[in-house]
Structure 1
């Protein structure tokens, strides 16, 4: 499975979309009145307008935002009776909370592009989303283009599948290579080089690592733990106790902050802001996912590397975080509404067709369908292929295992850990207590 995923880790091409055609209607002009209505003049039955409310993470700086909106526009042209109210936004912790609040308060969206694993547990256990197995009883071709390898990541603890994936991902340490060259620094292929780069950039007034602790700190949570505990400790789901390597990993937040690794307002700034800092060469590095490749302004001077092993750590230098962890869900509320069911199914089928997946996957990440390989790869795309192809282990993120309460608490505590206001041990003890 790892090799298969590694082969998949990069992507496709753009496509042309379908256009609608117009029909003309003729009228029978007979000189002799006829009491019957000619067939051509009979009023055709009107199709009732269907309103769908959709929610996705294709907003903000997501490089697929424009493609997604174009796909929605094309879908509406082909289905003029369907009205779409789309609520797309950046997938930070605030957005996640809003999605779960909507479901718990009865404001269920009809279709939602959301995470799998622990993030989806609350929705599944509450019966808020309908399984693919149930949908296929009536629509056997639903999600027909999705590969078995991609769909295997979607399996939930109850043995069913709910989300239809479109692209996978890898996470890595993206570097502006021109900044490293300017300051005569080696790329951070080991821990000593990483620390040397942090200290030099900080002294030169360049933000070493673009990151926000206020809404998206989780890439460093999992990579610090991977850097200290390796694949075997990282893949654990701590319910009774936690590995010591997890505390060692979280302790690195303070170590790095004391070195000047992060923006001075790291506890308050937002992910969109720091991502643009990296794009605009105001920051040397950012730890993020393959989805940022499409937004990189200078792909010839950007590369991506695995986070190196920490001193005394157990990580293989090639290990990375990756997989398939999100997809399109149809809410039970929409499924049970017979006036919306068919439109919701058609919408998801449209968004998960091979043509649509080619658009979503072109920004980088493993396509969930068998689509053609891209031509004219940029250096950063080639670096992504290398990252996945050389990985000894590829593990899913920690938030795919911790329950929602435990994960939310852990994320909220990162700023305090970095400031030395609370110890990693105290935080992890509480994480274990909440992760029952």
Structure 2
């Protein structure tokens, strides 16, 4: 390893101090300054059913053993409650030393308030920080265009399939050529066979179907556009997409309790062979593999498209990364440990373990695992067939701005609130 070699050379030349001093112009590496045992507070989304929950626990234990430092972990499942908790922590001065969190609008306030440290500032003292990453994929902040977080793995969103349910319903697995109308016909056949076509909680996680439903009315080049008016191109796409979700609800293609059920309840419908389709992210591969006896009974395919969107045009990107907070950076005992922790968690070896079938910012790419399940192999094939990737447009909106749609999906699908009015409410909040 680069750092280990540097330390050996420095030890050998301790008398003259020649060589090590010139290798990085006297600037520090995290190993050279992280000597005293410290406790870092760390918060990530590697918890619950997240694919990498166990990988994260193992990595933390290995880092603690390697450095003698300790991690005070407060990781939790990623949802709107988690985002609110992190916001509150920063507002009250209780933010962690290291945070694995979203890029974009959700982290804008941390950047604006100067509570997280930029990669450029860190590199002034630790020039090799994140040197294994492609800088243009780090997820620059829209506030000032600077990079603040170091990513591990990117994501894609697709449609997982319970092949056993489809077999019993006499339906083939959708392909990249399956149209939206054909998908609706499949759902109707599945429903008549006594199964739930789509496992989804419109109460807790309506965003997957929101993204793809509006994607079907725009394109990869326009999807990440927030409406300025309810009747502009983006506004019309949002209204039409919400109306399609309403149609799915009215036809009975979601679980009967979709408006009150939690995500884990609808997930169980899918893994217990009671539901056919589950729209979710690449991180769900591991969650499915650990929840079922036979992962080969599951696969992943593209959400059927229509209009200008090909089914292989997907939602994806690298939306999260490790931040070092100003609180830790200004602490002389924690600064080096925080840098070392992030470097360890974002090394080529560690990212390869975490990335699985996802995308990364590594210059050298990932090293695929030899023991992939059939589902994971299908996920790799899924990724290889992608024709275009668009970021999730919801990431451009704060929780409060999203609320008229995400928090009121029940009213929208039941016809109590017109889709057009919900979109207008979001636009109004943007102008406040």
TM-score (norm 2): 0.84
Contact 1:176 1:284 in 2 (8 A): yes
**Residue aligning to 2:41:** 53
Q: Name 1:323's counterpart in structure 2.
A: 317
SS of residue matched to 1:67: helix
Match of 2:430 among 424, 429, 435: 435
Deviation at 1:185? 0.9
Aligned residue in 2 for 1:117 = 104
State the alpha-carbon separation in 2 of the partners of residues 262 and 54 from structure 1.
37
Partners in 1 of 2:347 and 2:240 — Cα distance? 44
Cα distance per residue 1:342-377 (max 9 Å; x no partner):
111111111111121122112x21133223234355
Aligned match for 1:260, one of 241, 252, 257: 252
In structure 2, stretches of 5+ residues that fail to align are 5-34
Offset of 1:326 from its aligned partner? Answer: 0.4
What is the aligned partner in structure 2 of residue 303 from structure 1? 299
Q: Check 1:149–1:383 CA distance in 2 against 1; reply closer, same or farther (3 A cut).
A: farther
- Distance (whole Å) between structure 2 residues aligned to residue 59 and residue 401 of structure 1: 24
* Residue 352 (structure 2) aligned to one of 354, 358, 373: 358
Structure 2 contact 49–287 (Cα < 8 Å) conserved? yes
Instruction: Name the SS of the counterpart of 2:70 in structure 1.
Output: strand
Alignment check: 8 A CA contact 1:118 1:404 kept: no
Corresponding residue of 1:342: 336
- Greater relative contact order structure (CA < 8 Å, 6+ sep): 1
2:218 paired residue number: 229
1:58 positional shift: 0.4
- 1:144 positional shift: 1.9
* CA apart distance, 1:172: 0.7
Aligned residue in 2 for 1:25: none
Match of 2:182 among 190, 193, 200: 193
Q: Could you give the per-residue CA deviations for residues 296-330 of structure 1, whole angstroms, max 9, x where no partner exists?
A: 233323222221224xx332232111111101111
Q: Which residue of 1 aligns with 2:207?
A: 218
Measure the CA separation in 1 of the matches of 2:64 and 2:250. 52
What residue ranges of structure 1 are gaps of 5+ in the alignment?
A: 1-17, 19-46
SS of the residue 1:320 aligns to: strand
Counterpart of 1:132 in structure 2 is 119
- Aligned equivalents of 1:156, 1:136: Cα separation in 2: 20
Q: Is the 8 A contact 1:93 1:216 kept in 2?
A: no
For 1:215 and 1:126, locate their aligned partners in 2 and report how far apart those are by CA, in whole Å: 30
For residues 390 and 51 of structure 1, the distance between their equivalents in structure 2, rounded to whole angstroms, comes to 44
Instruction: Extract structure 1 runs of 4+ deviating beyond 4 A.
Output: none
For each residue in 1:46-85, what CA deviation from the matched residue of structure 2 results, as whole angstroms up to 9, or x when unmatched? x7542211111000101210110111111111122x2211
Corresponding residue pairs, total: 386
Distance in 2 between the 1:296 and 1:431 partners?
34
1:235-250 alignment runs, 5 A limit:
235-241=224-230, 242-250=234-242
Partner of 2:24: none
Please give the alpha-carbon distance, in whole angstroms, between the structure 2 residues aligned to 1:382 and 1:164.
27
Task: Indicate conservation of the 8 Å contact 1:166/1:357, yes or no.
Answer: yes
Q: Which residue of the partner structure matches residue 392 of structure 1?
A: 387
Rounded to whole Å, the distance in 2 between the matches of 1:156 and 1:239 is 18
State the match for 2:15 in structure 1: none
Aligned CA-pair RMSD: 2.1
Q: Is the 8 A contact 2:106 2:398 kept in 1?
A: yes
Partner residue of 1:367? 360
